[in-house]
Amino acid sequence: MSIDAPVKAPPESRRLTHMEAVVEAIAVEMRRDERVFLIGQDIGPFGGSMQGARGLYEEFGPERVLEAPISESAMVGSAVGAALFACRPIVEVSFGEFLPAAMNQLINQAPNLHYMTGGAARVPVVIRTRVGDGPYGGHPQDYVSWFAHIPGLKVVVPATPADAKGLMIAAIRDDNPVLFVEPMSLSHARRGEVPSGGYVVAIGSASLARPGRDVTLVVWGSTLPLALQAAATLSREEVEVEVIDLRSLAPWDAPTVVDSVRRTRRLVIAHETWVTGSFGAEVAATVAGSSPRIELLAPIKRVGAAPIPIPSGPLRAHALPTSAQIAAAVRAALQD
Amino acid sequence: MTGARELFEWMVVARTLGTTLCTLNVRWFPAEGEEAVHVGSFVDLRSDDAAAPHYRDPFVVYLMRGAELWRLVAQVLGKSAGYNKGRSVGFNGPFHLGVVPWVAGDLGTTIGTATGAALAFKHQRSDRVCVCSFGDGTANRGDFHENINLAAVWRLPIVYVCQNNGWAISQRASSYLPAPVAARAASYGIPGRTVDGQDVEAVRAVVAEAVGRARRGEGPTLVDALTYRRRGHWAGHIVSDADRAGVVERADPIDVLRGRLLERGVTTEAELGQIHERVEAEVQAAVERATAAADVGDAELGLDDVFA
């Protein structure tokens, strides 16, 4: 029995922002596992980009919160190497626009190491990054779909604070490289209930964000709130949309999507990134090719960013998908 | 401690095995003439240290760490009996022996993973170190700069060895190296050492000093080992005399040590000849065993082994 001060039982859940939930997940795992440490820029007393590391330096100190030179390839590479030798690092690439600077490590190294060593090596590393439109307007390009193409790399994009915590803990505990993507428009947006302690969401499981019988609407990341808004609007038109939040792009929960479309026989896919070559194409192809064949009642509709580099300033709002566009796509899927 | 005669034997192993591998696979990257850098840089590492040798025929490094000769040959032949089950490039090393893997041909990225091994050792508060070697061509990748700078900032226990043979495939160093590699060390605030890469004892001494610094927590060192590529970039690549015009030929590292051993009177021509004969027989036996091993098929694809 401890004779220390009485321990207050933690509350079952609290209302946290997306960002607070990610930071809490990292802190929970750093407390329970010495092998976990964080590498990144500005993660010291400054508290991290968008306050994404707030309080971690104060709690864990410079030996476990390592501020790095601006060298994404070395940051990711050294994290991958440390993971090979029994550490479990989290490396923060401040924004998704900087991922290309570490592409060799992300594509040629981390995903290949386990397989190419005949299964001898494990790479338990989390690469954390932020993408898309956000409150400060910077670094909006979203390249996440590229990474779902690569065997050996897991990709998760949580869209709620609870999923952000549960998927970050799952990513840290995973023995494989995981790209953990934070949609910036959600970082400081609405709070949500977040379970306390070591809450885990299984990587590769989609979430049924809203049940419905008429149309299946598949989304991930920042598009979830827009999809739910569209679904609420359409509900007033007596159209019930089933919203599925993929949460993980690799591996992804094809059975949940296919089962839903088997019932609704209509599919709309919406995401913040561009349509061409996006992960939405994989969702469409999987549904179209599923066996036994699904007799779709309408062509599959896809909604994404305008096919241009995402602009800065007020012009950006004209390039990104809106709730109204998503609702229009659903209506079109009902009319075809 | 490994004696000079064992250094000689390891270099003979490297030469004999490398020559044989070049006949088995014209795409093998020979290290003929560069054996002293491989042997001298890695021979004194502890078994719990990490080794990240240059891709140019690094098998002698794996053998010094306990790899089986025939399985390495099997790897070059793409057999599943190799250490990576026929999945990877032949020069990828056995990971369970503390070898930093080679899983792609993107030069410079192993400098990153090797630096990460050193980061792990520091995080674990151990006195383990990593030695990482690479070519003078690779020294121009951003990863060279990024990682040495990062290792210097974090004082990581690592030694970077440039196996400087003066060539990047067909290009001579004058087309990519405007200044000595060792001189770059000053810009990272770490020691830079230049050593005769044909003198295995000199390489060993310089690397040992750097390893000592790393073990004591004093941070990284950059070693520039000047060596000589006697063959082409790959086994089937012929470098003409015209192409070589003006390139300073450096002594054969095996001849250098042979002369020294005989001069010191610690061995005889006959003894050294026996080493050659024994190694030749071992290599031939390994080739026979590897050649007889099963070829890979669909069953070896490992579809369920992409994730741990």
Closest by Cβ to A118, choosing from B84, B123, B143:
B84
Domain coordinates in residue numbering, chain B: 4-291
| Region of poorest pLDDT, from A9-13, A303-307, B1-5, B75-79 | A9-13
The answer to whether residues A226 and A130 touch, using CB atoms and an 8 Å cutoff, is no
Structure tokens at A316: 């950006």
Radius of gyration for the alpha carbons in chain A, expressed in angstroms and rounded = 20
Structure tokens at A298: 């309408």
Distance of alpha carbon A76 from alpha carbon A92, whole angstroms? 8
Do residue A79 and residue B147 have CB atoms under 8 angstroms apart? no
Within 8 A of B154 by CB-CB distance, chain A residues are: 66
- For the segment B78-88, the average pLDDT, to the nearest whole number, is 95
- For the segment A292-305, the average pLDDT, to the nearest whole number, is 97
- For the segment B5-18, the average pLDDT, to the nearest whole number, is 97
Give tens-digit pLDDT for A24-59: 999 999 999 999 999 999 999 999 999 999 999 999
Distance from the B305 Cα atom to the nearest Cα atom in chain A, whole angstroms: 6
**pLDDT class for B186, splitting at 50, 70, 90?**
very high
Nearest chain A Cα to B52, which residue? A81
Do residue A76 and residue B112 have CB atoms under 8 angstroms apart? yes
Give tens-digit pLDDT for A183-217: 999 999 999 999 999 999 999 999 999 999 999 99
Per-residue CA distances from A296 to A244, A261, A267 (Å): 18, 8, 8
The answer to whether residues B41 and B74 touch, using CB atoms and an 8 Å cutoff, is no
Sequence-distant (≥ 6) Cβ neighbours of residue A168 within 8 angstroms: A21, A22, A25, A26, A29, A126, A128, A158, A180
Instruction: Please give the DSSP secondary-structure letter assigned to residue A109.
Output: I
What pLDDT is stored for residue A1 in this prediction? 37
Task: Say which of A114, A139, A188, A271 is annotated catalytic.
Answer: A139
Q: What's the CATH code, domain A16-195?
A: 3.40.50.970
Does residue A336 carry a pLDDT above 90?
no
Sequence-distant (≥ 6) Cβ neighbours of residue B186 within 8 angstroms: B192
Angle at A211 between CA A206 and CA A214, to 5 degrees: 115
Tally C-beta pairs within 8 A across A and B. 157
Does residue B82 carry a pLDDT above 70?
yes
Instruction: Please give the DSSP secondary-structure letter assigned to residue A108.
Output: I
What pLDDT is stored for residue B244 in this prediction? 86
Which residues of B touch chain A, with CB atoms under 8 Å apart? 50, 82-85, 87-88, 92, 94-96, 100-101, 103-104, 106, 108-109, 111-121, 123-124, 142-143, 146-147, 149-150, 153-154, 302, 305-308
What pLDDT is stored for residue A9 in this prediction? 54
Q: What's the CATH code, domain A207-335?
A: 3.40.50.920
Sequence-distant (≥ 6) Cβ neighbours of residue B209 within 8 angstroms: B193, B221
For the B4-291 domain, the top CATH level (class) is: alpha beta
Amino acid at B182: A
Give the three-class secondary structure for A294.
Answer: coil
- For the segment B153-180, the average pLDDT, to the nearest whole number, is 95
Helices (H), chain A: 18-32, 56-60, 72-84, 103, 113-116, 144-147, 161-173, 184-187, 223-235, 254-264, 279-288, 316-319, 323-335
Distance of alpha carbon A8 from alpha carbon A126, whole angstroms? 31
For residue A233, count other CB atoms closer than 10 A to its CB. Answer: 16
Q: Determine how β-strand A88-93 pairs with β-strand A36-40.
A: parallel
Helices (H), chain B: 4-24, 35-42, 59-64, 69-76, 109-123, 142-154, 185-188, 200-215, 241-244, 253-264, 269-292
Closest by Cβ to B147, choosing from A63, A74, A85:
A74
What pLDDT is stored for residue B104 in this prediction? 85
Closest by Cβ to A78, choosing from B50, B88, B112:
B112
Active site residue A271: no
Structure tokens at A236: 């007033």
**pLDDT class for A136, splitting at 50, 70, 90?**
confident
Distance of alpha carbon B35 from alpha carbon A2, whole angstroms? 61
**pLDDT class for B246, splitting at 50, 70, 90?**
confident
For residue A31, count other CB atoms closer than 10 A to its CB. Answer: 12
Amino acid at B76: V
Nearest chain A Cα to B84, which residue? A118
Q: What is the DSSP string of B183-250?
A: GGHHHHTS-EEEEETT-HHHHHHHHHHHHHHHHTT---EEEEEE----S-SSTTPPPPHHHHTTPPP-
Per-residue CA distances from A175 to A40, A266, A272, B218, B308 (Å): 21, 37, 29, 32, 6
Sign (positive or negative) of CA dihedral B234, B237, B241, B245: negative
Distance of alpha carbon B11 from alpha carbon B36, whole angstroms? 7
* Matching residue, tokens 């000689």: B8
Beta-bridge partner residues of A89: A37
Distance from the A238 Cα atom to the nearest Cα atom in chain B, whole angstroms: 44
pTM attached to this predicted model: 0.96
Give percent of chain B with pLDDT exceeding 90.
93
Does residue A10 carry a pLDDT above 90?
no
Amino acid at A300: I
* Matching residue, tokens 């699904």: A294
Q: Note the ipTM here.
A: 0.97
Give tens-digit pLDDT for A149-188: 999 999 999 999 999 999 999 999 999 999 999 999 999 9
Do residue A85 and residue B308 have CB atoms under 8 angstroms apart? no
Domain coordinates in residue numbering, chain A: 16-195, 207-335
Looking at every residue in chain A, the average pLDDT score rounds to 95
Give tens-digit pLDDT for A215-236: 999 999 999 999 999 999 999 9
Give the three-class secondary structure for A114.
Answer: helix
Do residue A87 and residue B153 have CB atoms under 8 angstroms apart? no
What pLDDT is stored for residue B92 in this prediction? 94
Nearest chain A Cα to B301, which residue? A115
Which of B187, B113, B108, B180 lies closest to B149 in space, CA to CA?
B187
Which of A304, A231, A216 lies closest to A261 in space, CA to CA?
A216
Instruction: Please give the DSSP secondary-structure letter assigned to residue B132.
Output: E
- Phi, psi at A90, each rounded to 5°: -115, 125
Q: Determine how β-strand A13-16 pairs with β-strand A192-195.
A: antiparallel
- Phi, psi at A303, each rounded to 5°: -125, 130
Does residue A124 carry a pLDDT above 60?
yes
The packing angle between helices B35-42 and B4-24, to 10°, is 130
Amino acid at B265: G
Do residue B123 and residue A82 have CB atoms under 8 angstroms apart? yes
Distance of alpha carbon B35 from alpha carbon B15, whole angstroms? 7
Distance from the A33 Cα atom to the nearest Cα atom in chain B, whole angstroms: 12
Within 8 A of B304 by CB-CB distance, chain A residues are: none
Distance of alpha carbon B274 from alpha carbon B277, whole angstroms? 5
**A201 or A137, higher pLDDT:** A201
Does residue A4 carry a pLDDT above 60?
no
What pLDDT is stored for residue A8 in this prediction? 57
Closest by Cβ to A74, choosing from B92, B150, B302:
B150
Distance of alpha carbon A267 from alpha carbon A284, whole angstroms? 8
Which of B103, B100, B84 lies closest to B51 in space, CA to CA?
B100
Distance of alpha carbon B155 from alpha carbon B153, whole angstroms? 6
